[in-house]
Amino acid sequence: MTDLGPSTPTLHGAPVRIPEPPRTSRRKLWEIPHKYHCPVIGTCLEVGELRRIAERVRMETDEPLSDYEVHLNFVGAADSKNTLSVATHKVLERKYAAAVARFAKVRERTLLIALWREALADGGVPGALWAVVTHARADAELLAMAYGDVHMLSHQIGAGQRVDLARLAQIRTELADLQARHAATLRRHARDLATRDRELAALRATVVEMDALRAESALLREQVTALESGRTVADLRTALAELEQRQAGLERERVQAVAQAEDWRDQYATAAAQAAELSASLAEHRAELRLLEDLLQQDLAPCDACTENACGDGPDLGGRRVLCVGGRQALSGHYRALVARLNGAFERHDGGLEDSSQRLTAMLAAADAVLCPADCVSHAAYYRVKRFCKRHGKPCVLLSSSGLSAFARGLETLALPPTGRRESGNP
């Protein structure tokens, strides 16, 4: 099918499309209208796959091609049946066999549109796009609708990627700062530990000296007892008194040293607590960084390893209605996209900025689960959410921040276990 076919004007001047006769077999790649070759090649195949196909058919070029030039070559070759287009068609058929089989069971146009909408919601656009454009019952209007949806989806993904990249750069800066502070704290603790070790070594030397003096004092007492009737008694008494004074002085030094050692232990405990807090903060930022990188990678790279039901093992909200109370207005669209990706329905109340408190009560009653970022919501709305959810036994996750990563972790908390999942639309 190449066009809508001939048309005749109506009374108002709008063209009336004369439908082409229905096909009895699926389209080949070169039988698809040329305007759809670009989105099909760009959405359904990665550049690496295109280069491997080119190597397989020994496509010769005067010099190495950029990714864009590779894409243009495949789009141009798809317009007719040739070695390159045939090889590309076989790869697409093999890669999306499950999606093609699922769409092939449908013969009615309305059911085809429903399957396409379901693929848009579930993120399985590449396989669904190939199945639709090659389907025997897909008319020009359905192809144009799929083309428009893919075109707008590319804009939405680009906008989301810019926000995620900016947040990723900010997180990396914060991570570098935390790592520097952590390293400085470790160096300071190492110096403190070295000082404490020197103090403890000096204290041990003092204890050894005191033990020796105690032994010497005991020996002198024995000598004094034996010589009390002799001429040296007075001298021995004087020497004993001096030793006792020295011992008393060393005892005072020992007490001071013990007190100082206790002070060092307290300082070390405080420093260790600070280090633990910094380590926990560092771990949290690393986890947030990994999550953002995973989300960004999912948006940048298509899931070409998925089969028909392979993504069903991920977090699933089971079609439940998730209410977000508060949060940042600028991220509302991304909140909605994350909830939709996990098979949920998203609603939001701004937490008392403009929306009324009476509307909050009604929305809480209608929701299946609630998320409430504590850093971007009024105090009244925050405590109302806590009281309402506790009173009615409604699942509620209080988030420490309104960022995308915290919101995604909250959704994973609300997700159903693998054995308890439900189909979308069954609350």
Let me know if residue 51 belongs to a domain. Answer: yes
Let me know if residue 5 belongs to a domain. Answer: no
| 314 and 392, same domain (yes or no) | yes
Let me know if residue 12 belongs to a domain. Answer: no
The CATH number given to whatever domain includes residue 345 is 3.40.50.2300
| 108 and 218, same domain (yes or no) | no
Residue-wise DSSP of 7-61: EEE-TTSPEEE-PPPPPSSPPPGGGS-GGGHHHHHHHHS-HHHHHHHHHHTT---
Number of structural domains, the chain? 3
| 176 and 295, same domain (yes or no) | yes
Let me know if residue 9 belongs to a domain. Answer: no
| 274 and 316, same domain (yes or no) | no
- Among 138, 156, 179, the domain-final residue is 138
The CATH number given to whatever domain includes residue 250 is 1.10.287.1700
| 265 and 325, same domain (yes or no) | no
Which H helix or E strand runs over 397? Answer: strand 396-399
Residues 6 or more apart in contact with residue 12 via CB below 8 angstroms: none
Residues of the chain with pLDDT under 50: 1-19, 158-162, 164-165, 300-303, 305-311, 419-427
Q: How far apart are CA 376 and CA 350, in angstroms?
A: 9
pLDDT of residue 92: 92
pLDDT of residue 29: 92
pLDDT of residue 424: 42
pLDDT of residue 238: 81
Let me know if residue 103 belongs to a domain. Answer: yes
Tell whether pTM > 0.75. Answer: no
Contact between residue 30 and residue 45 where contact means Cβ atoms under 8 Å apart: no
Contact between residue 22 and residue 137 where contact means Cβ atoms under 8 Å apart: yes
Let me know if residue 3 belongs to a domain. Answer: no
pLDDT of residue 11: 32
- Among 244, 272, 300, the domain-final residue is 300
- Among 138, 159, 189, the domain-final residue is 138
Q: How far apart are CA 276 and CA 278, in angstroms?
A: 5
Q: How far apart are CA 294 and CA 340, in angstroms?
A: 17
| 175 and 267, same domain (yes or no) | yes
| 318 and 273, same domain (yes or no) | no
Q: How far apart are CA 366 and CA 343, in angstroms?
A: 18
Name beta bridge partners: 321.
345
| 198 and 286, same domain (yes or no) | yes
pLDDT of residue 13: 41
Let me know if residue 149 belongs to a domain. Answer: no
| 92 and 175, same domain (yes or no) | no
Name beta bridge partners: 399.
373
| 56 and 119, same domain (yes or no) | yes
Domain that holds residue 63: 19-138
Dihedral sign for Cα atoms in the order 62, 68, 74, 80:
negative
Let me know if residue 271 belongs to a domain. Answer: yes
Residues 6 or more apart in contact with residue 15 via CB below 8 angstroms: 7, 8, 9
| 283 and 330, same domain (yes or no) | no
Residue-wise DSSP of 72-86: HHHHHHTTS-SHHHH
| 203 and 315, same domain (yes or no) | no
pLDDT of residue 233: 61
Q: How far apart are CA 311 and CA 320, in angstroms?
A: 18
Contact between residue 263 and residue 247 where contact means Cβ atoms under 8 Å apart: no
